[in-house]
Structure 1
Amino acid sequence: MSTKIESAYVSASPEANIRWSKNSSLTRQIETRQGMIGVRHGRFVGGLADGVEVVEVDTGVTTALILPSRGMSIWRLESGGIDFGWKSPIAGPVHPSHVPIFDPSGLGWLEGFDEFVVRCGLESNGAPEHDDSGRLLYPLHGRIANLPATSLSIEYNEASGRVEVIGEMIESRLFFKRFRLKSRIRFHAGQPDVELLDDVTNELTSPASMQLLYHINVGSPVLGKDSTFDAPVETLAPKDAHAAEEIETWNQFGEPESGYAERVYFAKLRANEHNLTSAMLSAADKASGLAITYSVTGLPRFVLWKNTAALEDGYVAGLEPSTNYPNNRTFEAEQGRVLDIDPGETKSFRVTIHPMSDSEAVSKMAKRIATLRGDEPSTVEKMPKPGWTRGA
């Protein structure tokens, strides 16, 4: 039996308090054949978070806080007693009204960035871009993370134990674009994994192009001294000369270091016959980790973000499947790394997040990645790769 409960949109905030709604149709305990799963709905109260809408889902194994006000981002994820997010210097979640996306520098997006999972896009998802006169054309990482859901609902299936939180965002500008992102965030009672099932539709009568990147951010305790990243790399290259300085240890992480400047690596990963690939960040003792599995059909590129700065400055690693590399949009379009989307057409993107809180799960994922890697050696470029980095 599948039941759908609709609610009107409202907006949604952290270190402030969450006021949980007792009367919302989204607040309920759902009994399934696989166990109980709890959903509750509320809003943050106070500070920059005031008014931010939040939905909590508790599978009995994993608890996630979803932010409909911030593009259906996942703010926090806890599983097996481990917090898989990170501690950003931003006192979030920040209501989108306080995030100056179109700040002339193009970097205003950073004033709201503290989520575990945040989408970048849809018109553009990379570095800010200005025209010859200095006018901002595309801000850092686009707009979708700061657009509120226009609808919000849950669906559940009592037999399978499946629960989905469903939200829709519209990114639009008269004469230019109208993208609808329908996001289903899927959970199963008694299971740790979280599935992101996103569909983007071009609702205009003219063709358009888009980009999308999933910024999945992991901090301590999974990230720490001697943590490692593992993926079936086909080809990998540093984004710039700064990242090239650590190319010999590109998949190894150090302890928090004050003044550390981020390193970024671009990659293509190998996939299986179903076009699925996986990547994992594991703790030094291999007793915990965070992995992702996704389809390279929609997300053919991968980005690794290393930011082992001091804990107070944002100690974090980013696992980022993407349609493209996060250079400015014009360069990516010249390289053919934008998705053309016809009038009425829908593009689908699928990412599964695997929080792992024991050595058995980490070992199983490592074996899966080794199978995907196969016997062919990986190509690791020493310097930025032409066509992947502007000016390389």
Structure 2
Amino acid sequence: MTETASHRIWHDRESQIVWDDASPLSMAVETRQGNIQTRHGRFVGGVSHGVEVVEIDSGAVRVTVLPTRGMSIWKIESEGIRYGWDSPISGPVHPALVPTFDPSGLGWLEGFDELVVRCGLESNGAPQHDEQGQLVYPLHGRIGNLAADSLAIEYDEASGRLDLVGEVIESRLFFKRLRLKSRIRVQAGSHRVYLMDDVTNELSTEATMQLLYHINIGSPILEEGAVLEAPIEELAPKDALSAAEMDHWNQFEKPENGYRERVYFATLCHDDSNETTTMVRSQDKSRGMAVTYNTSKLPRFILWKNTAAKSDGYVVGMEPATNYPNARSFETEQDRMVTLQPGETVSFRLSLLPLINQQAVEKTSQRIKELSTHHDPVIHAQPKKGWSVDS
């Protein structure tokens, strides 16, 4: 009997980025403040195939933006530190492969792995079904799984500013047409990254909207002993499970098998310009991530704790929002919707600041303490009526 050789040829399908140096979005900009470089490309292979990517390097931070995924920020790198998290999804996942309208309403979770993803625009919270059990509003809405239909780079040599501009339209014939115009801005030599979003109602009738910025931090910032610092004005747990950890609601543990998410709803103190700051920092205060935003348009804040096993997605979320992420009907009853007249635009402004050393963390901590100086926080041990459906 003659033996025959058996052969297997492997083709690695892991996604890779193919950069396009000839793209008009790939450029080197010389400014008076320093140089900024951008690269434009697409993912090839796997679930990321076809996802457009723009990388912006300010000289202090490298920002990776995903226009195909609603202008989300996939990750930020600075001084050798990666700011983001390790999702078991292992994306970025092309929106065509995300079943947003899965009957359960939870299909959004099949594409979730960004540092910053927007939730909205028609709804941004829990799934909502009608009396017949049909899905009306999916988890966290559609905007994070819609592609930008135009991209441009604008820059100013004198100030050292560079903006990546993209527009995403969320629409349905006869029902809605909301245009998100997003600017992601860096300054040459600066660690801060700005998100400047304008939402316009382009129909001839009144519209309502919601928006939440899901800002997600994992290792190495998140670790046992890591802490969220925030200038709390008022705070309440979302549900009974979250209430059980009120004595250490803002402290994070090491990864825990089987950990179930805890969620806390808050309003934050702000300065005379309505700006506030919060941060997640490491246990030894050597690094962190700060978020600064304007509370006049984003009056609510949510902390999402998901300190599960590393393989299950060890992550916490800082979430400035127009409302709390309950079902849309509940938020409507509580008068927490944003109303837009025909042609009206509402603007949202926030920034991310990677904190690369203890000095930067201490400076941010002092800023947060100053915001809290003249206010004693109101802390609820149980869910607050009107804030949560579980109250």
- Give the alignment's TM-score, normalised by structure 2: 0.96
Question: What letter is aligned with 1:52?
Answer: V
Aligned to 1:323: 322
For the residue of structure 2 that corresponds to 1:127, the secondary structure is coil
Question: Is the Cα–Cα contact under 8 Å of residues 291 and 353 in structure 1 kept in the other structure?
Answer: yes
* Contact 2:89 2:110 survives alignment (8 Å): yes
The 5-angstrom pairing of residues 84-163 of structure 1 reads 84-163=83-162
Asked whether the equivalents of residues 32 and 159 of structure 2 are also in contact (C-alpha less than 8 Å), the reply is: yes
Aligned mates of 1:352, 1:390 — CA distance in 2 = 30
1:48 correspondence with 2:50: no
Q: Which amino acid aligns with 1:322?
A: A
Give the whole-Å Cα distance in 2 for the aligned partners of 1:171 and 1:24: 27
Residue 366 of structure 1: CA displacement? Answer: 0.5
Q: Is the 8 A contact 2:239 2:390 kept in 1?
A: no
Q: Which amino acid aligns with 1:83?
A: R
Alpha-carbon distance in 2 for matches of 1:391, 1:288: 35
For 1:184, the equivalent position in structure 2 comes to: 183
| SS, match of residue 195 in structure 2 | strand
- What is the CA-CA distance between 1:78 and the residue it aligns to? 0.7
**Percent identical:** 59
- What does residue 222 of structure 1 align with? 221
What SS does structure 2 have at the residue aligned with 1:312? helix
Alpha-carbon distance between aligned partners in 1 of 2:389 and 2:256, rounded to the nearest angstrom: 29
User: CA separation in 1, counterparts of 2:14 and 2:234?
Assistant: 41
- Aligned residue identity for 1:20: W
Counterpart of 1:288 in structure 2 is: 287
Corresponding residue SS for 1:326: coil
Shift of 1:91: 1.8
| Aligned 8 A contact 1:32 1:160 in 2 | yes
Deviation, 1:354, is 0.7
Shift of 1:79: 1.1
Conserved 8 A contact 1:72-1:183: yes
Alpha-carbon distance in structure 1 between the residues aligned to 2:87 and 2:244: 25
CA 1:274–1:15: 2 relative to 1, 3 Å: farther
Q: Distance in 1 between matches of 2:14 and 2:273?
A: 42
Partner deviation per Cα, 1:62-115 (whole Å, 9 max, x = no partner): 001100000000001111211110000002000000000000000000000000
Q: Secondary structure at the match of 1:331?
A: helix
Report the Cα offset of residue 15 of structure 1: 5.1
1:203 aligns with: 202
- 1:301 and 1:321 in contact (8 A); partners too: yes
2:356 counterpart residue number:
357
Partner Cα separation in structure 1 for residue 72 and residue 282 of structure 2: 24
Q: 1:234-313 to 2 correspondence within 5 Å? A: 234-313=233-312
The DSSP-based 3-state class of the residue aligned with 2:296 is coil
Q: 1:73 maps to what in 2?
A: 72
CA contact (8 A) 1:225 1:255 kept: yes
Q: Which amino acid is the alignment partner of residue 101 of structure 1?
A: T
Superposition deviation, residue 376 in structure 1: 2.2
Q: Distance in 1 between matches of 2:51 and 2:37?
A: 20
Contact 1:67 1:74 in 2 (8 A): yes
Q: Deviations over 1:213-236 (max 9, x none)?
A: 000000001110000111110100
Change in 2 beyond 3 A, CA 1:294/1:134: same
Q: Which amino acid aligns with 1:118?
A: V
CA distance in 1, matches of 2:37, 2:120: 31
TM-superposed deviation, 1:391: 4.0
> Structure 1 residue 356: deviation in Å?
0.5
Task: Give, in whole Å, the separation in 1 of the partners of 2:171 and 2:32.
Answer: 42
Query: 2:9 corresponds to which residue?
Result: none
Distance 1:37 1:178 in 2: 35
Alignment correspondent of 2:27: 28
User: How far apart are residue 291 of structure 1 and its match?
Assistant: 0.5
Aligned twin of 1:11:
none
Residue correspondences, number: 379
1:385 aligned residue: 384
Kept after mapping to 1: 8 A contact 2:238/2:390:
no
Q: Distance in 2 between matches of 1:353 and 1:271?
A: 17
Cα contact 2:55–2:64 (8 A) shared by 1: yes
- Looking at structure 2, the residues matched to 41 and 140 of structure 1 have their Cα atoms a distance apart, in angstroms, of 30
Q: Which runs of 5+ in 2 are unaligned?
A: 1-12
Divergent runs of 4+, >4 A: none
Q: Note if contact 1:208-1:343 (Cα within 8 Å) is conserved in structure 2.
A: yes
Supply the distance in 1 between the matched residues of 2:22 and 2:286 (Cα, whole angstroms).
40
Assess, with a 3 A threshold, how the Cα gap between structure 1 residues 235 and 344 changes in structure 2: closer, same or farther: same
Distance 2:17 2:135 in 1: 36
Aligned to 1:8: none
Conserved 8 A contact 1:106-1:139: yes
Task: Tell me which residue corresponds to 1:4.
Answer: none
What is the 5 A alignment of 1:336-351? 336-351=335-350
Residue 375 (structure 1) shift: 3.4
Q: Normalization by structure 1: what TM-score?
A: 0.96
Q: Secondary structure at the match of 1:260?
A: coil
Q: Cα RMSD between the aligned structures? A: 0.8
Q: Which amino acid aligns with 1:70?
A: R
Structure 2 Cα separation of the partners of residues 292 and 282 of structure 1? 12
Q: Quick check: 1:287–1:362 contact (8 Å CA) kept in 2?
A: yes
